[in-house]
Structure 1
C-alpha cells in the first residue's frame, strides 16, 4: 500500500449484514472520529467458507443497498461497492482513499471470523487503525457459557443465562451529517451486479409484499409493537392471521438491530405477548451462538450419529414438495407462499420441513438449501439450525419421534382453512371439515367444490401414517 497521511486520512466503514444508520456502532464511531467517512460494501463470494446468496436474498440485498446508499448520502457519506475477495477489495479501497482508520461490526461464523482477522492484520500492517464492535447480537457468544465454561446446547438454560446478564446498552441514534467530505474511490454499479431476476422476473409478487431498507424496518417494528404484540402469544401460530412481526428479513440484513427490536418491544411491559416474542429473539441468538461455537451448521449434523441416517434420494418427490404439490394442503400452501412471496409462516416452516425430512426421508440439507435460495430472510445461522431442530439432528432438537402430522397441524392452526384457501385456491370451496384432508371428502362434496383429485389437486404423494412408521424405524435404527 502507498504512503498516506495517516493522521488525517478518512475513516472507512465496512458494511456487511448491518445495512442501517441507526444503532450502528461502527458507523457511529467513524462519524464521531472527526474524519471524513467512506462506506464500503464488498460482495464477497470467493473467500473460503463464503456461501453465495440465494435468489430471493439477492433481490433483497439489491434494494437494501440502494436504500442504504441514499440514507448515507443524506449525511454526506459515499457508499463504495466492490465485488471480489474481501481482503483484496478492502486493501485496495483503503489504499486508494488514504484511509487512516477502519471500522466494522463483528461477524460470528468461523469462516467470516477468519476473513476478518486476515483483513485486520493486513490493514494494521499497512498502518491503519482497526476497530470492531458488537452490533448484530444481544450477547457476544463467548459471554454466555455454562458453569463449566462450555457453550450451551439446550435453549432454555441458554436463554435463562443470557437474560441474567442483562442488556448492556441502549440503541444508538443515526449519526448527524459529517462535517468533512472526501472523494470516494472507484465503485461498482449496483445494477452491474445483476442481483435482480430478469428472465423471468419471478420477484414481482415479492416486491408487492416487501419494502427493504431501514425506514421500512423501523415502520414495521413500530406497527407490530402497537398493533400485534399484545396478542402475539395467542395468535402467532395461526398462519392466516397477520400476527407475527415479519421483521426477519430486515433483521437478517441488519436494517434493524436486535437491540432496537428489544427496546421497542420492551416498552410494552404489560403485553402478554412480550416474553414470548423476546424468546423468539432468543432463538435467533441461540442459533448464532451455536454457529460461532460449532460452525458449519448448514453442512454437517450437529449430532454426529445422524451422519449414518439412511436419507432417501427421491428427486421426483423433492420437486413435488418444492412446488407445493404434495397433496397435503397445509404443506402445499406454505411452499407456494414461499415461492411467491419469499417468506413462509414459521409454524408452516416446521410442518413443511418435517414433511420433507420425516414423511419423505429426504436429507434436511436439501430442504435447507431450497429455503436458502427462496427465503428473503435466509439467515446463515437460523436457517440450518431450524432445519436441524426439525430433523432431530440439531442442538435442543425435536425428539426423533416427533413427526408433525400435516392434517392435524392444519386443522389445529388453520381450523377454518383460510390460509389454505389463500395459497391453494383450487381447494377454496371445500368446507373446513375436508379442506385439510380432501382425499377423505365424499364425492358429492368434491364435485360441489370443483375438486377432481389427481387432476385439479394431487392425491397425497405418501401415506402419512405409513411414512411415520418408516421414519420411526429409521431413527430407532441409529441407536
Structure 2
C-alpha cells in the first residue's frame, strides 16, 4: 500500500509523525508542492530569503530520503491528481496553522475522503495544538504569561525517531529543484550565505547541539547582547520544520540534567519557544492577525506615509547606528539579532510613525526565518496594537539601547564599518560627537554616514501624541 506523505513545513525525517506512520503502513511517496501565490489566493507569500532557504532545505531532504517528488501548482489540484496518477490509497501530512493553509487542507481532506482515500494529519510543528489550551472561561488566551503557565502544565510528547525502514514507492515525473526558481540570480543577493547557514535537518541538529554545549549558559542575560553568540539561531530551522519544538524541548532538558546551574537559562530558552507557541495560538484563533490591528482602537492611529523614510530604514541609512547595523545585518545575512529586531521595529513604528504592516512585509521578504505567526504577533506587540502588547508609551531610545546592549560598539562596528574607527563614547550617537572627533576618523555626517532622518525627542513626542488618539478612540468605543 502506497501512502503519499505531503511535506510542507516539516522538512525532516526525525520526529515526523506523518512520515513515521506512513512508513509503518507500507511504501512511501514523499512529495513537496510549491504553490504559486497568484493562483492560490496567498496574501502573505514566501519571501525571497525564505525561498533561498527552502531550496537548500529541499535539497537536503531529498538527499536524506533518497528521493523527493517536486510538483508546482495549487495543492488542491496537485494532491488529488497525484493520488489518481499513482493509485495511492492514503495521504498523510503534518498540520499547518496559517489561515489559508487550514482552508486549503480542509478542502483537500474533504475531496480525498470523498474519493475513498484515507487521510490523516498530525501534530508536528508545535508542542501543543492551538485548541488544546484555553482559559478558565473556555476561550483562547490573549496574554502570554497565563498561556505559558497553562502550557507548562501539559506533558510534552517525546520526539519520534526516524522511521526504522523507509521504502520509497515508484516515483512519477516531477519538477527538478532548479525548475522551482527559488534561488536569486541577477543579482545574487544571497552570495556568501552558504558560509553562514547550513539549511536542512543535519544543520539544524548541529546548530542545536552547538548552542546547548557552548552558549546556553548565561543565555538569560546574554541573549540581549548582539555582540555575543548566546542565541540559538534555530528560528529558520524551526520555521521550515528541519527540527521540531519537541526535539528542542527534549534536548534542552537533557542538557539541563547534564550540567549544573543551567536551570534558569534553560527555562528562559524554552520560554522563547513558548512565545512561538503563543503566536500560533493567536494566529489560529484570530486569523486576521497578520493584517488587522488586534486591538481595533489602533485603527485610529495617525500613521505617516513616507517612501523616503521607509527606504532609509530598509537600507540601514537612518543615522542611528544600532538601527542601521540591524537593518544591514538583515540584508547581508537574512537574519537579525532578536534584541535589535525590537529596536528597529520600535524605530519604524514610533520614531518614523510608519504602519507596522510595512515592517512586517519587509521582514517577511528578507528574513530566512520569516514566520507568519511570529512575525505578525511580534510586530503588533511592538506597535502596542497586539495581544499582550508592550505598553504604547515604551519608546526605545536607540542611543541608550545601543549603549546598554552593545557597550563597546562591537556590533555596530561590524555592520556599519564607516563608523568603525569612531571613539566608543560616540559610536551610538555620532551626531553628538565633536567635529574634530569625526574629522579625525574620516566621518562626515551627511556624506560618509547619514545624519539622523528624525530627531529622537521630537519623534517621541509625536508618537505619544498619536497614541493619545488611540487612547481616546478606545475610551469612546468603551
Question: What is the TM-score with the length of structure 2 in the denominator?
Answer: 0.96
Superposed CA offset, 1:323-358 (max 9, x none): 000000000000000000000000000000000000
SS of the residue aligned with 1:444? helix
- Asked if 1:147 is matched to 2:139, the reply is no
The equivalent of 2:423 in structure 1 is 431
Shift of 1:49: 4.1
Contact 1:49–1:112 (8 Å) recurs in 2: no
Contact 1:371–1:378 (8 Å) recurs in 2: yes
Q: Distance in 2 between matches of 1:278 and 1:257?
A: 13
Within-5 A mapping of 1:86-101: 86-101=75-90
Q: Distance in 1 between matches of 2:447 and 2:344?
A: 23
- From 464, 469, 477, the equivalent of 2:456 is 464
- Asked if 1:173 is matched to 2:166, the reply is no
Q: Distance in 1 between matches of 2:297 and 2:129?
A: 29
- Which of 183-192 and 209-218 deviates more? 183-192
> How many residues of Structure 1 are paired with residues of Structure 2 in the alignment?
464
- Asked if 1:259 is matched to 2:246, the reply is yes
- From 335, 339, 342, the equivalent of 1:343 is 335
Within-5 A mapping of 1:243-254: 243-254=230-241
Within-5 A mapping of 1:365-376: 365-376=357-368
Shift of 1:238: 0.3
Contact 2:133–2:140 (8 Å) recurs in 1: yes
Q: Distance in 2 between matches of 1:80 and 1:123?
A: 19
The equivalent of 1:71 in structure 2 is 64
Shift of 1:51: 2.8
Q: Distance in 2 between matches of 1:49 and 1:431?
A: 48
- Which of 267-276 and 409-418 deviates more? 267-276
SS of the residue aligned with 2:4? strand
SS of the residue aligned with 1:12? strand
Query: Structure 1 residues 128 and 300 mapped into 2: Cα distance closer, same or farther (>3 Å)?
Result: same
Contact 2:300–2:469 (8 Å) recurs in 1: no
- From 346, 350, 353, the equivalent of 2:345 is 353
Question: What is the TM-score with the length of structure 1 in the denominator?
Answer: 0.95
Shift of 1:181: 4.3
RMSD: 1.0
- From 98, 110, 121, the equivalent of 1:121 is 110
Query: Structure 1 residues 50 and 175 mapped into 2: Cα distance closer, same or farther (>3 Å)?
Result: farther
Contact 1:25–1:105 (8 Å) recurs in 2: yes
Structure 1: any 5+ residue segments left out of the alignment?
A: 1-7
SS of the residue aligned with 2:70? strand
SS of the residue aligned with 2:107? helix
The equivalent of 2:48 in structure 1 is 55
- From 182, 196, 219, the equivalent of 1:195 is 182
Within-5 A mapping of 1:434-449: 434-449=426-441
Query: Structure 1 residues 181 and 162 mapped into 2: Cα distance closer, same or farther (>3 Å)?
Result: closer
Q: Distance in 2 between matches of 1:429 and 1:39?
A: 54
- Asked if 1:208 is matched to 2:198, the reply is no
SS of the residue aligned with 2:5? strand
Shift of 1:176: 2.6
SS of the residue aligned with 1:21? coil
Q: Distance in 1 between matches of 2:428 and 2:20?
A: 52
Q: Distance in 2 between matches of 1:280 and 1:427?
A: 33
Shift of 1:95: 1.0
Shift of 1:268: 2.8
SS of the residue aligned with 2:40? coil
Contact 1:50–1:112 (8 Å) recurs in 2: no
The equivalent of 1:112 in structure 2 is 101
Shift of 1:50: 5.4
SS of the residue aligned with 2:425? coil
SS of the residue aligned with 1:37? strand
Shift of 1:431: 1.4
Within-5 A mapping of 1:247-326: 247-269=234-256, 270-271=261-262, 272-326=264-318
Q: Distance in 1 between matches of 2:376 and 2:319?
A: 26
Shift of 1:48: 3.4
Contact 2:56–2:199 (8 Å) recurs in 1: yes
Shift of 1:83: 1.0
Contact 1:403–1:468 (8 Å) recurs in 2: yes
